[in-house]
Amino acid sequence: MKTEQDIFLAYLKSRGLNLTAERSKILQTVFSFHRHFDLDDLYDEIRRHKARVSRATIYRTIPLLMESGLIREVFRCMDRPHYEHIYGHDHHDHMICLGCGKVLEFKDERIEKLQNEVCAEFGFESVEHRLGIRGYCRECREGQVKRRGAAGT
Amino acid sequence: MKTEQDIFLAYLKSRGLNLTAERSKILQTVFSFHRHFDLDDLYDEIRRHKARVSRATIYRTIPLLMESGLIREVFRCMDRPHYEHIYGHDHHDHMICLGCGKVLEFKDERIEKLQNEVCAEFGFESVEHRLGIRGYCRECREGQVKRRGAAGT
DNA sequence: ATTGAGATTGAGACTAAATCTCAATAAATT
DNA sequence: AATTTATTGAGATTTAGTCTCAATCTCAAT
């Protein structure tokens, strides 16, 4: 079983890049999250561990992690992109509550399958897809929870 | 059959707002497009017709059009939101080619239906959803077309 | 038609996310 | 060890989008 490091290292090598201490720290932090995160979550978490990596470096590293297939952008919330690590996790889609901002994950094989069918029809080769359903979760529908902010896929 | 104007006007009235010349021009231009558009497309097209509406006003009007259900944000391309008018059009989803930037539209009732099922399971009330599949179109797969830029949902 | 309250606009100031620059440093290669 | 190339951080820069505000417009009630 390959570790995330192995994969990232292989990707970097293939591009003539090095796995530096900063990149390693970012990678490690990304995989310490069990939730979606944005750039500031990353930055803060790294600092909390008494490490220092500049924002510029994080901005530069995120595309590398995406290209190596370790993370993906999942949706936008408060107008900022949010990410999740995908290595070792099944693919899933999201429901985003417009009331409380909560994110529910779901997976439906039948939907995935139909998507593949549609792609085949069009001769389209799918690399990835993103399905986001915006609406109101059970709790918000029942009216207890106050509004927060808009969420966008 | 209600026109777009009727709908927009009713929406504005319901909020105590007026249908001004600027809003009317924006509305008319939005519905003159047969493709996805971004804010600058709108701005340029309005100017091309010798009319003048400031960017600030366009920025202010887009949310009104969205709330009135006349347009929706469909995806991000080159990091800018793109819109389409939806009144009088069936809902559909998108395939975005990472090679040439082309956008294909498709609709599959079965997928829609399954989405509703999933929502029901979670007690989630869907307001809208967005499904974007990124990959390579037939032409790009066959290798004739050059890369352009990244597209994001 | 006139008036006044509130809505609307455009221009430019402002904000903040993201990118770029560049000098200093680190890593890999010879 | 020397050379080349990659990397970093700090801060400058860019730019989409928002906000401010004075001038104008709209509408409903006179």
What does each of the 153 residues of chain B score in pLDDT, given as a tens digit? 789 999 999 999 999 999 999 999 999 999 999 889 999 999 999 999 999 999 999 999 999 999 999 999 988 877 889 999 999 888 999 998 888 888 999 999 999 999 999 999 999 999 999 999 999 999 998 875 444 444 445
Q: How large is the average pLDDT for residues A82-106?
A: 90
What's A15's DSSP letter? T
Alpha-carbon distance values, B24 to B30, B45, B79 (Å): 10, 14, 28
3 state SS of A48 = helix
Q: Is the pLDDT of residue A95 over 90?
A: yes
- Quote the CA–CA distance of A41 and B152 in Å, as a whole number: 21
Domain boundary among A40, A73, A89: A89
Alpha-carbon distance values, B143 to A38, B10, B146 (Å): 35, 50, 8
Residues in chain A: 153
In the prediction, which pLDDT does B144 show? 57
CATH code of the domain in which B113 resides: 3.30.1490.190
For chain B, first and last CA: distance in Å?
Answer: 33
Poorest-pLDDT segment among A53-62, A87-96, B9-18, B52-61: A87-96
Q: How far is A51 from chain B (nearest CA, A)?
A: 30
Q: Is the pLDDT of residue A26 over 50?
A: yes
Same domain flag for B12 and B83? yes
- Quote the CA–CA distance of B103 and B140 in Å, as a whole number: 13
Task: Say yes or no: B153 contacts chain A, CB-CB below 8 A.
Answer: yes
- Quote the CA–CA distance of B28 and B5 in Å, as a whole number: 8
Q: Please list, in sequence order, all residues whose beta carbon lies within 8 angstroms of the beta carbon of residue A1, skipping any fewer than 6 positions away.
A: none
Same domain flag for B100 and B142? yes
Task: Say yes or no: A116 contacts chain B, CB-CB below 8 A.
Answer: no
In the prediction, which pLDDT does B131 show? 94
Same domain flag for B84 and B96? no
Number of domain units in chain A = 2
Same domain flag for A82 and A95? no
Chain B contact set for A132 (CB, 8 A): 129-130, 153
Contact indicator for B26, B46 with CB cutoff of 8 Å: yes
**Of the partner residues B128, B132, B138, the one whose CB lies closest to the CB of residue A134:** B128
Interface of B with A in 62-91 (CB under 8 A): 73
Domain boundary among A62, A89, A116: A89
Mean pLDDT over the full length of chain A: 90
B125-136 and B93-97 as β-strands: parallel, antiparallel, unpaired?
Answer: parallel
Q: Shortest CA–C1' contact from B53: which nucleotide?
A: C10
Name residue, tokens 């989630």. Answer: B124
Same domain flag for A65 and A106? no
B105: nearest CA partner in chain A: A122
In the prediction, which pLDDT does A148 show? 42
Same domain flag for B36 and B83? yes
Q: How large is the average pLDDT for residues A43-48?
A: 95
What range does the domain containing A45 cover? 1-89
Task: Say yes or no: A143 contacts chain B, CB-CB below 8 A.
Answer: no
D26 C1' to B26 CA distance, Å: 19
Same domain flag for A82 and A18? yes
CATH code of the domain in which B81 resides: 1.10.10.10
In the prediction, which pLDDT does A152 show? 43
Query: Using the CB atom, is residue B113 less than 7 Å from strand C?
Result: no
**Of the partner residues A110, A127, A141, the one whose CB lies closest to the CB of residue B114:** A110
- Quote the CA–CA distance of B2 and B95 in Å, as a whole number: 31
Grade residue A144 by pLDDT with cuts at 50, 70 and 90: low
Protein-covered nucleotides of chain D (CB closer than 7 Å) are 5-11, 16-20, 25-27
In this structure, which amino acid lies at residue A52? R
Grade residue A1 by pLDDT with cuts at 50, 70 and 90: confident
Torsion-angle region of A152 (φ positive above 0: left; ψ -120 to 50: alpha; else: beta): beta
Domain boundary among B68, B89, B110: B89
Nearest by Cα to A65 from A40, A85, A91, A89: A85
Same domain flag for B9 and B80? yes
For residue A55, count CB atoms less than 10 angstroms from its CB and return exposed for 0-12, middle for 13-18, buried for 19 or more: exposed
Q: Please list, in sequence order, all residues whose beta carbon lies within 8 angstroms of the beta carbon of residue A108, skipping any fewer than 6 positions away.
A: A93, B114, B118
D27 C1' to B14 CA distance, Å: 15
Q: Is the pLDDT of residue A146 over 50?
A: no
Same domain flag for A115 and A72? no
Same domain flag for A75 and A133? no
Alpha-carbon distance values, B83 to A127, B41, B59, B62, B76 (Å): 23, 10, 13, 9, 9
In the prediction, which pLDDT does B21 show? 96
Same domain flag for B25 and B83? yes
Q: Which residue is nearest to nucleotide C28 (CA to C1')?
A: A18
In the prediction, which pLDDT does A99 show? 82
Q: Please list, in sequence order, all residues whose beta carbon lies within 8 angstroms of the beta carbon of residue B25, skipping any fewer than 6 positions away.
A: B46, B51, B53
What's A34's DSSP letter? S
In the prediction, which pLDDT does B81 show? 93
Angle at B94 between CA B89 and CA B86, to 5 degrees: 20
In the prediction, which pLDDT does A112 show? 96
Q: Please list, in sequence order, all residues whose beta carbon lies within 8 angstroms of the beta carbon of residue A136, skipping any fewer than 6 positions away.
A: A97, A98, A99, B124, B125, B127
Same domain flag for A1 and A11? yes
In the prediction, which pLDDT does B121 show? 96
Query: Using the CB atom, is residue B21 less than 7 Å from strand D?
Result: yes
Protein-covered nucleotides of chain C (CB closer than 7 Å) are 6-12, 17-21, 26-28
The helix, strand and coil proportions of chain A, stated in percent and rounded to the nearest 5, come to 40, 25, 35
